[in-house]
């Protein structure tokens, strides 16, 4: 063959690697898992899902899932690499596909995230990840599709944290469509004034305050941010900064 050919001079039918035994050929070993991760850090429900895998493979997949979870906040792209490596070994395990979907979502790979989370929904029959799916639709500049997805789900059958996340995404989609008042109304649910300060409730109130601020309702927004800043002892949000900015 000429030097411009895309092929090689080896006889047709000969596989790359020549006569080397398979054990000597280069293998894709995937990303390096940080030392100290054993896989035992996983929640027992996740570990139970991995029991269908052979023992040696189960340990590697478990370690990859832990590595992905630990990296997702600081380095979502690395988290995605770990999750995709796990998928190569266990593509039929829902929790593995969930890890790929959520890390892709965190990394801004919205088309991949949506595809993976749809697969999880099909495998499990659960709607608990629908908020992330809808937000991925927003990330793909399809707010109307996000709302269509959210309204197709029975909220009452879901956990309150999931319902709150759905409302936050729905409000964002309404704002994307220029429906600012509808965005606020979407967040006016009983949880907004419930006597709890766990992360979902803090996020709901922060979202409400943020929409108020975006609409120029500065005094109302400042009041909400002040309340959040005084109660958000875990600092889930930057409400204290927003309060200071709005109050001068």
Place of tokens 């478990």: 62
Residue 242 lies in a domain: no
Cα 173 from Cα 179, distance rounded (Å): 9
Place of tokens 């906040």: 73
Residue 44 lies in a domain: yes
Residue 102 lies in a domain: yes
Cα 127 from Cα 138, distance rounded (Å): 18
Query: Which positions ≥6 away from 58 have C-beta within 8 Å?
Result: 39, 50, 51
Question: In angstroms, how far is CA 200 from the centroid of its own chain?
Answer: 15
Q: Please report the pLDDT score of residue 7 as a whole number.
A: 41
CA angle, corner 90, sides to 88 and 93, nearest 5? 140
Of 195, 146, 204, 151, which is closest to residue 175 (Cα–Cα)?
146
Q: Which helix (H) or strand (E) covers residue 239, if one does?
A: helix 239-247
Q: Is 17 exposed, middle or buried (0-12, 13-18, 19+ CB in 10 A)?
A: exposed
Residue 91 lies in a domain: yes
Q: Is 43 exposed, middle or buried (0-12, 13-18, 19+ CB in 10 A)?
A: exposed
- The per-residue pLDDT for range 97-154, each reduced to its tens digit, is 999 999 999 999 999 999 999 999 999 999 999 999 999 999 999 999 999 999 999 9
Residue 140 lies in a domain: no
Q: Please report the pLDDT score of residue 29 as a whole number.
A: 64
Of 53, 123, 47, which is closest to residue 89 (Cα–Cα)?
53
Q: What is the DSSP letter of 85?
A: H
Of 189, 101, 179, 174, which is closest to residue 138 (Cα–Cα)?
174
Q: Could you list the residue range(s) of the whole structural domain that residue 50 is in?
A: 31-126
Of 167, 166, 105, which is closest to residue 136 (Cα–Cα)?
105
Q: Please report the pLDDT score of residue 22 as a whole number.
A: 40
CATH of the domain at 101: 1.25.40
Q: Is the pLDDT of residue 17 over 50?
A: no
Under a CB-based contact definition with an 8 Å cutoff, are residues 190 and 212 in contact?
A: no
Cα 139 from Cα 154, distance rounded (Å): 23
Q: How many domains does the chain have?
A: 1
Q: What is the mean pLDDT of residues 92-96?
A: 97
Q: Please report the pLDDT score of residue 28 as a whole number.
A: 54
Q: Is the pLDDT of residue 199 over 50?
A: yes
CB atoms < 10 A from the CB of 81, how many?
Answer: 19
Q: Using DSSP, state whether 142 is helix, strand or coil.
A: coil
Global pTM value: 0.85
- The per-residue pLDDT for range 145-197, each reduced to its tens digit, is 999 999 999 999 999 999 999 999 999 999 999 999 999 999 999 999 999 99
Cα 43 from Cα 9, distance rounded (Å): 53
- The per-residue pLDDT for range 25-55, each reduced to its tens digit, is 345 567 999 999 999 999 999 999 999 999 9
Residue 146 lies in a domain: no
Under a CB-based contact definition with an 8 Å cutoff, are residues 179 and 213 in contact?
A: no
Place of tokens 């395990």: 93
């Amino acid at each position: 063959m000429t030097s411009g050919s895309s092929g090689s001079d080896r006889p047709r039918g000969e596989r790359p690697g020549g006569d080397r035994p398979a054990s000597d050929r280069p293998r894709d070993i995937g990303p390096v898992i940080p030392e100290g991760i054993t896989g035992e850090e996983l929640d027992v429900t996740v570990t139970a899902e991995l029991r269908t895998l052979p023992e040696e493979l189960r340990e590697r997949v478990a370690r990859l899932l832990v590595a992905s979870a630990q990296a997702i906040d600081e380095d979502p792209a690395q988290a995605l690499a770990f999750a995709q490596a796990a998928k190569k070994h266990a593509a039929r395990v829902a929790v593995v596909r969930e890890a790929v979907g959520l890390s892709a979502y965190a990394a801004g790979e919205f088309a991949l995230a949506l595809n993976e989370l749809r697969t999880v929904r099909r495998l499990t029959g659960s709607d608990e990840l629908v908020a992330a799916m809808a937000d991925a639709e927003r990330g793909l500049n399809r707010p109307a599709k996000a709302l269509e997805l959210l309204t197709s789900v029975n909220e009452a059958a879901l956990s309150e944290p999931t319902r709150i996340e759905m409302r936050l995404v729905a409000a964002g989609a309404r704002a994307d469509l220029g429906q600012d008042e509808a965005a606020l109304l979407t967040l006016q649910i009983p949880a907004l004034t419930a006597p709890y300060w766990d992360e979902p409730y803090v996020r709901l109130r922060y979202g409400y305050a943020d929409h108020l601020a975006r609409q120029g309702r500065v005094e109302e927004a400042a009041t909400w941010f002040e309340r959040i800043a005084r109660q958000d002892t875990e600092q889930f949000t930057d409400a204290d900064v927003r309060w200071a900015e709005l109050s001068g």
